[in-house]
């Protein structure tokens, strides 16, 4: 077995992150080149580590993303924080040509980050629940409903495919280095963070 391939993750400012990615055809999806790319994206996401990776982040303007939130990522996080974020493990999934077909009006706000805005984090409001239609790695249509953190991951990755980054949606006064986020904000309830930042 060859060692895992780690693709280069591009950073904000790279034009591909601002392009609308094109959909893949069924013939492309089942082509060995895409199969291989999916494996490399999975290994790159795990190595980062991250809970999602979209093709534009590795320089390709195609509608392909992978997601996975592993049990081991949740171990170091306090149970009350996990509960507040409704964060639970998400199995590895390949999302091709995904579309959000339903979203809740109810939103939730938490700190969010991105491998393409490395070293930073900010408060981002997202729909609490979404329903997504997509093709899997076998070009088979799938329907997925998610709530809480898994819904956030889906919205973040699908945004990437239309050239949108979380910094377009963030509460800009909360934009923080990861260091400072860990030092000042990480364990506070969001209302306290908002109050301290003058966000009412």
Alpha-carbon separation of residue 45 from 7, 87, 113, 120, 162 (angstroms) = 9, 18, 14, 17, 20
- Determine the residue with CB nearest Zn ion: 114
Q: Where are the alpha helices (DSSP H) in the chain?
A: 26-29, 32-47, 71-74, 79-85, 149-160, 178-180, 190-196
| Selected range binding Zn ion among 3-11, 34-42, 111-119, 173-181, rule: CB under 5 A | 111-119
Among residues 118 and 196, whose Cβ is nearest to Zn ion?
118
How far apart (Å, rounded) are the C-alpha atoms in residues 170 and 123?
6
Number of residues that bind Zn ion (CB under 5 A): 1
**Window 134 to 173, contacts with Zn ion (CB under 5 A):** none
User: What does the DSSP 8-state code read for residue 55?
Assistant: G
Q: How far is the CB of 27 from Zn ion (least distance, A)?
A: 28
Applying CB under 5 A, which part among 75-83, 113-121, 130-138, 181-189 lies near Zn ion?
Answer: 113-121
Binding residue (CB under 5 A) for Zn ion from 51, 90, 114, 132: 114
Q: Which of 86, 105, 157, 171 is catalytic?
A: 157
CB of 196 to Zn ion, least distance (A): 26
Helices (H) and strands (E) counted in the chain, each on its own, are 7, 8
**Angle, vertex CA 114, rays to CA 108 and CA 120, nearest 5:** 90
Name the minimum Å distance from CB 115 to Zn ion: 6
Is 157 annotated as catalytic?
A: yes
Enumerate the active-site residues. Answer: 157
Applying CB under 5 A, which residues contact Zn ion?
Answer: 114
């Amino acid at each position: 077995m060859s060692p895992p391939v780690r693709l280069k993750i591009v950073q904000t400012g790279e034009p591909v992150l601002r392009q609308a990615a094109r959909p893949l055809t069924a013939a492309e999806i089942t082509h060995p080149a895409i199969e291989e790319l999916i494996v490399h994206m999975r290994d790159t996401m795990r190595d980062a580590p991250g809970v999602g990776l979209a093709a534009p982040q590795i320089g390709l303007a195609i509608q392909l993303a992978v997601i996975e939130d592993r049990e081991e990522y949740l171990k170091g996080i306090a149970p009350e924080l996990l509960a507040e974020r409704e964060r639970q493990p998400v199995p590895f999934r390949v999302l091709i040509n995904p579309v959000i077909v339903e979203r809740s009006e109810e939103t939730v706000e938490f700190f969010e980050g991105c491998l393409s805005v490395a070293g930073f984090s900010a408060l981002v409001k997202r729909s609490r629940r979404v329903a997504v239609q997509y093709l899997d790695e076998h070009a088979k249509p799938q329907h997925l409903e998610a709530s809480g953190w898994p819904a956030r991951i889906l919205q973040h990755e699908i945004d990437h495919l239309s050239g949108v980054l979380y910094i377009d949606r963030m509460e800009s006064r909360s934009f923080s280095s990861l260091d400072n986020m860990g030092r000042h904000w990480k364990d506070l309830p969001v209302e306290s963070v908002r109050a301290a930042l003058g966000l009412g």
